[in-house]
Structure 1
Amino acid sequence: MHVIQVNGTLYCHYEQKVRPYIDLIDSLRSLGVDQDLPLPSIAVIGDQSSGKSSVLEALSGVSLPRGSGIVTRCPLELKMKKIRAGEPWKGKLKYRDNEMDLNEPHSVEQEIVKAQNIMAGTGSSISSELISLKIESSEVPDLTLIDLPGIARVAVGNQPKDIGERIKGLIQTFIKKQETINLVVVPSNVDIATTEALKMAKEFDPTGQRTLGILTKPDLIDKGNEENIVDIVRNLVIELKKGYMIVKCRGQQDIKKKLSLEEAIQNERVFFEQHSYFSPLLDDMKATIPLLAEKLTNELVEHISESLPSLQKQIEVKLQETNTELKKYGKPVPEEDEEKLTFLVELQSYYDIISSIIKGEEKSQDQESKIFNQVREKFENWKRCLDSISLNLEVGDLDMKNSIKKNRGKELPGFINYSTFEKFMKEHIEKAEAPSIQLLFAICLIEDILKKESHEAEKMLYSQFNMERIIFSQDVIYSKVLSTLKSKPRLPQDADVSVMKDHLNTYFEIASDRLANQIPLIILYHTVNQFGTELQKQILQLIQGDKNVNELLSENKDVAEKRNRLSKRLERLSEAQEQLNKFSV
């Protein structure tokens, strides 16, 4: 059906060069990353009855909702994947928490209508919720499009009076993003300059840098106006950077006659070949659905490729912002009553020992040992955490080798590149930051009681790690540790990687020793020495008060929801970053 074949070495090359880019963005969208950052995409817009649905049907090989008025009532993410000839057609529809497999192309239209009725109601209203349709077929291009509702000029029938503005508002949320290619569908039998879709595209993309025009219904052009349409397609009337194409899809009569999409493609080719005005457009690669499919795939892949460095940086920044914000909310309080009671028992013990410290009273050695053993155990876990990070320096040779190769200047093998060393060292030091904050709240027990001092301790912990990112050691100490490490037996490995690991291990051993002692000192200073008296007073009020456990240990619902949202965002952004890192390698 389409220009690109799916057999032999050409198919393998195509799979390697095209499909990975589209799969990557589809995967990030499935994760929900588009909630946090705009992703590269192609949005399809057009006035009502512009032929938009017909174009998408011709590209996808399936029938979509048609008719008068608004037929696309929710954004439809149409994901098409080309497979080898002979493999079975597959479809999958997702919306809200619903997911269903489709085994026949003819079932698509009915299921989309059902989904739209669930999300937008059975009337003529619209919804901003996304429906996702994935199609795997040897008869489709590798392409993902987002179909948007057709632009209505005035409300008709039972449509809401403000339907036109609501549709425009929905479309704007997509086409205003610099990451979006705007695919504007315009019928050939109307004045292109008057169409709302093109006006909207020009409003948000004044220079036409990211807009592609598609002219439809060339068989309805008034006789004598063909030359003007050809001028539009050749980008001589309203200039767009990505230009225009012209296609002829199935009309209502063709559908009534049950003309297949394959037959419609053949008829389209014949139409352009036999039309004296339009036949040159075939040679210019500006006409027919197959050529449009190829152009859209190339445009999308190029667009994704150009967007990846910026996307990678945006995810990195968003991750840091989310991490910082999440830390402000601390750890969630226990939900189970048993855990809450255990919490209070620990609090009582902690109160007893703090009371004895402040008053100078001698308490039983067993009781004091019990409390400090608990604290000491947490500090030992902190040391084990640092040791595990140190062990991680022994893995990831491929990443290290690739980074050394990427950043290498004039250095000969065995000379380390400082920027590479600094990058890896900072990454490993940063891995210890979050566990140190967790340690603080584990010692503090209940965040509200130690709010002031735990906040001060937290600031000091962050300051400590900011200092650690400077990368410094006394020369004599560094040289001594490096010399000791080099004297140990090791397995043969790449010279650059071996030297880099020597220096990374040396520095982290020094930094780890500092952190192993300094972090517990900061926490003890604030949780015992500085806040003892106030802690004693507040714990006493908690334990002797008349409040129940749930009241004592409950937290604000908004805080819990915010923490949950941030945790989910952190999770999906971390996974997205991992996918992007693997892709770039």
Structure 2
Amino acid sequence: MNDLIPLVNKLQDVFNTIGSDSIDLPQIVVVGSQSSGKSSVLETIVQKDFLPRGNGVVTRRPLVLQLVNTHTGISSMDETSAKNADYAEFMHLPHKQFLDFDEVRKEIESETARVAGQNKAISRTPIHLKIFSKDVLNLTLVDLPGVTKIPVGDQPTDIEKQTRNLILDYIQRPNSVILAVSPANVDLANSDSLKLARQVDPHAKRTIGVLTKLDLMDAGTNALDVLSGRAYPLKLGFVGVVNRSQADIQSNKPMTDAFKSETVFFENHPAYRAIAHRCGTTFLAKTLSTILMNHIRDKLPDIKAKLNSLIGQTQQELSSYGDPTFTGKAHRGAIILQLLTRFASDFVAAIDGTSAEISTKELCGGARIYYIFNNVFGSALDSVNPCENLTNQDIRIAIRNSTGPRPSLFVPEIAFELLVKPQIKLLEPPSLRCVELAYEELVKICHNCGGKNLARFPRFHAKLIEVVSDLLRERLGPTSEYVESLIAIQRSYINTNHPDFIGGGGAMSQLERTSERKKPEMDRTRRISAVNVTLNGPSNSHVVEGEKSLTNAVSSLSVHPVEKPRERESSTHLHPNPSGITTNGAHPGPNAPGKDTFLNYFFGAQPRHSTGRPSHPESRLAGHSQDVAKEMIMPKTVLDGEPVGIDRKLDHMTDHNELSHLSDREDMETQLIRSLITSYFNITRKSIQDLVPKAVMHLLVNYSRESVQNRLVATLYKEELFNDLLQEDDSLSAERAKCKAMLDVFKNAFSIINEAM
């Protein structure tokens, strides 16, 4: 039993070497408010003046105090120590003995200021102090800052919160015995130490109370009910003490005289005379030593089990860092080959979706490549408009340019090819972006391979990533070129015989159905306009004004200025009217159709128009642009002015002015071209959407997947690279060393407990 406290002190010393508190060691924690006499109790137990004193928070760091009874250990000391057997040692100064306890006080103050600063703030970093004396009992005490409520001077504003959190951090540990110090001249209900102890020890099983300042109570009062356990029951009870007064401290009253005065007080006091043998500092020290030994005895099996568990965990952690020693070239080569194979396997598994560490939070690896193909790339292609940036004016110019100087009877096929090829080119940017996204995803997979096994070799890991990135970069060029060639192949030959292509007949039928669907709506609009004319009068209707202007334009036409070189059967009849147009705008003759059809417009016939406007571009020039056409044939002459040249007139005429108004036939030709472009573009888009992912998988993904291991071995499995590749990370080496030190500490502590038990 007498060896249990030294045993815990040894364990504490062992754990202090690595600064670890993994094991909750049994110890007595002293708690009390400021001016409660806490420091005086400790000094009386030690029988030395060694603690700092002053106003405000003086104890600003936990002080772990180990009391060691030297007995007959004087022979092991030097001559100076033998004269005075009492001395002190600090853990931060392991090779220095303090024989003068005034120097101990100064060292505590300077060490506190060094860590906690000068502004009265507190710190959680403890100060470890050992006091060796033949007059002390083996004890382990922890002196904590006193509880304060109002900051004084330059104390932090939250000093109360800081102090309470620090105290709770120590006393809430199950293996701590709480020494709650309370002044007897203050109502026990206001004791801060007992309130804090009640929070963590509600059943008061590991709390011992100390009543100080019994000699300062009002005359006629006593604390007998408290000391006897009737007022506030504690399992470990209360002990009353009488410490030196401030005057005694200032006059340096010897500890022996203080003990005598305390004994006289309890033996002569009428209330405490009966319990004098259970009061005083001597009884308190013996009680604390006994309580601590019993507490250690009860907790020692749990400590041993905890140590055993920590040893197993630490050994497992140490093995995860790997063996730092490599014996010979063969061993290093085997490790490198093993890591190469593991990296390549992780890369392939991430693509195939067979990795053991598959994320359940987000798409990764091969699943993201699939998402790129089917969602990102597919949506990008669907968002491309088949006729994007293709205006009616562009289509009309393409049709006219493809016919040269000749008038057209049909829509030229070369115009369709001329227009559809740039539209197919629009599929190239999203296709190339699909290749880039797949490449970026493979690079990301590469960076996530290797895991913890390669974390200890950062240079090796970087080289692996570099080699795989080079491989992917090599494949990016050919893949992009092949995808570009897919677009070029589609543009090189426009296959209008494709079974899914709508063709001319299909486009005409589609437009005719669209025209028939729109005709009832147009008739309805005309009827509404007529009703508006009737109700509102012709002066307020723009429709009537338009009809008048149109009628005047028809009646003003005389002879057609340009003779058509060819006309179909419906327009080859000679007519009495030289203009070829009747007063109602219809062609005469028995073969004249009863109504306009799309076939008439498409195959170049002269259809009937309600406005009397010809459909051919040349006829249009004779109709709406009659004056302009004449001026292109003959220079305009002004009697009183100078002639205007053809070149000047051509300069004034622009395609926009010429093509701003489309005839019915031109409008249908334009819609026909748009239908054909849309149909062929959709065919090409489906083909590209199918071929590009296949090309990416074959040329980039599968190629990299199948050749990654061979490339890694060929590039990195070289004897001259072994030493550089297997150079460990400095931080990991430090973690391994720390883990090994902890394992040694745990094993040492376990052996100490085994020897004691």
Q: TM-score range by the shorter chain?
A: 0.5 to 0.7
Contact 2:88 2:104 in 1 (8 A): no
**Aligned to 1:259, what secondary structure does the other structure show?**
coil
Among residues 211, 220, 226, which one is paired with 1:224 in the alignment? 220
Among residues 35, 59, 63, which one is paired with 1:72 in the alignment? 59
Among residues 703, 716, 726, which one is paired with 1:542 in the alignment? 716
Q: How big is the shift at 1:92?
A: 3.0
Q: How big is the shift at 1:344?
A: 9.6
**1:501-532 alpha-carbon deviations (Å, 9 max, x no partner):** xxxxxxxxxxxxxxxxxxxxxxxxxxxxxxxx
Cα separation, 1, equivalents of 2:57 and 2:297: 34
* Structure-2 change in CA distance of 1:31 and 1:232 (3 Å): same
Whether 1:186 aligns to 2:182 is: yes
What does residue 89 of structure 1 align with?
85
Whether 1:245 aligns to 2:419 is: no
Report the TM-score when normalising by structure 2. 0.47
What does residue 152 of structure 1 align with?
148
What does residue 288 of structure 2 align with?
296
What does residue 752 of structure 2 align with?
579
What does residue 6 of structure 2 align with?
23
Contact 2:332 2:722 in 1 (8 A): no
Contact 2:183 2:212 in 1 (8 A): yes
What does residue 59 of structure 1 align with?
45
Among residues 176, 181, 206, which one is paired with 1:210 in the alignment? 206
Cα separation, 1, equivalents of 2:91 and 2:122: 15
Contact 2:29 2:142 in 1 (8 A): yes
Q: How big is the shift at 1:561?
A: 3.8
Counterpart amino acid of residue 326 in structure 1:
L
What does residue 121 of structure 2 align with?
125
Cα separation, 2, equivalents of 1:304 and 1:221: 36
* Structure-2 change in CA distance of 1:534 and 1:582 (3 Å): farther
* Structure-2 change in CA distance of 1:546 and 1:158 (3 Å): farther
**1:457-507 alpha-carbon deviations (Å, 9 max, x no partner):** xxxxxxxxxxxxxxxxxxxxxxxxxxxxxxxxxxxxxxxxxxxxxxxxxxx
Cα separation, 2, equivalents of 1:536 and 1:345: 21
Aligned-residue RMSD, C-alpha: 3.5
**1:522-549 alpha-carbon deviations (Å, 9 max, x no partner):** xxxxxxxxxxx98765343325799996
* Structure-2 change in CA distance of 1:96 and 1:108 (3 Å): closer
* Structure-2 change in CA distance of 1:290 and 1:548 (3 Å): same
Counterpart amino acid of residue 579 in structure 1:
I
Counterpart amino acid of residue 257 in structure 2:
E
Contact 2:67 2:139 in 1 (8 A): yes
Structure 1 residue runs of 5 or longer lacking an equivalent are: 1-16, 356-439, 452-532
Cα separation, 1, equivalents of 2:321 and 2:335: 26
Q: Percent identity?
A: 31
Cα separation, 2, equivalents of 1:83 and 1:234: 34
Counterpart amino acid of residue 265 in structure 1:
F
Cα separation, 2, equivalents of 1:144 and 1:250: 23
Cα separation, 2, equivalents of 1:581 and 1:112: 35
Report the TM-score when normalising by structure 1. 0.61
**1:421-477 alpha-carbon deviations (Å, 9 max, x no partner):** xxxxxxxxxxxxxxxxxxx99xx9x9979x9xxxxxxxxxxxxxxxxxxxxxxxxxx
Q: How big is the shift at 1:182?
A: 0.3
Contact 2:336 2:722 in 1 (8 A): no
Moved more, 89-98 or 76-85: 89-98
Counterpart amino acid of residue 754 in structure 2:
N
* Structure-2 change in CA distance of 1:349 and 1:233 (3 Å): closer
Q: How big is the shift at 1:95?
A: 4.4
Q: How big is the shift at 1:53?
A: 0.3
Cα separation, 2, equivalents of 1:211 and 1:120: 29
Among residues 238, 253, 257, which one is paired with 1:259 in the alignment? 253
What does residue 322 of structure 2 align with?
330
Contact 2:29 2:179 in 1 (8 A): yes
Cα separation, 2, equivalents of 1:273 and 1:350: 82
**1:193-235 alpha-carbon deviations (Å, 9 max, x no partner):** 2122111111000000000000001111122331xx1101111
Q: How big is the shift at 1:82?
A: 2.1
* Structure-2 change in CA distance of 1:136 and 1:343 (3 Å): same
Cα separation, 2, equivalents of 1:67 and 1:327: 52
Cα separation, 1, equivalents of 2:152 and 2:718: 69
Cα separation, 1, equivalents of 2:727 and 2:93: 30
Cα separation, 2, equivalents of 1:152 and 1:276: 35
* Structure-2 change in CA distance of 1:187 and 1:349 (3 Å): closer
Counterpart amino acid of residue 542 in structure 1:
L
Counterpart amino acid of residue 329 in structure 1:
Y
Q: How big is the shift at 1:140?
A: 1.5
Counterpart amino acid of residue 193 in structure 1:
A
* Structure-to-structure mapping, 1:100-119, within 5 angstroms: 100-119=96-115
Counterpart amino acid of residue 70 in structure 1:
V
Contact 2:29 2:170 in 1 (8 A): yes
Counterpart amino acid of residue 229 in structure 2:
N
Q: Report how many residues are paired.
A: 388
What does residue 741 of structure 2 align with?
568
* Structure-to-structure mapping, 1:305-344, within 5 angstroms: 305-332=297-324
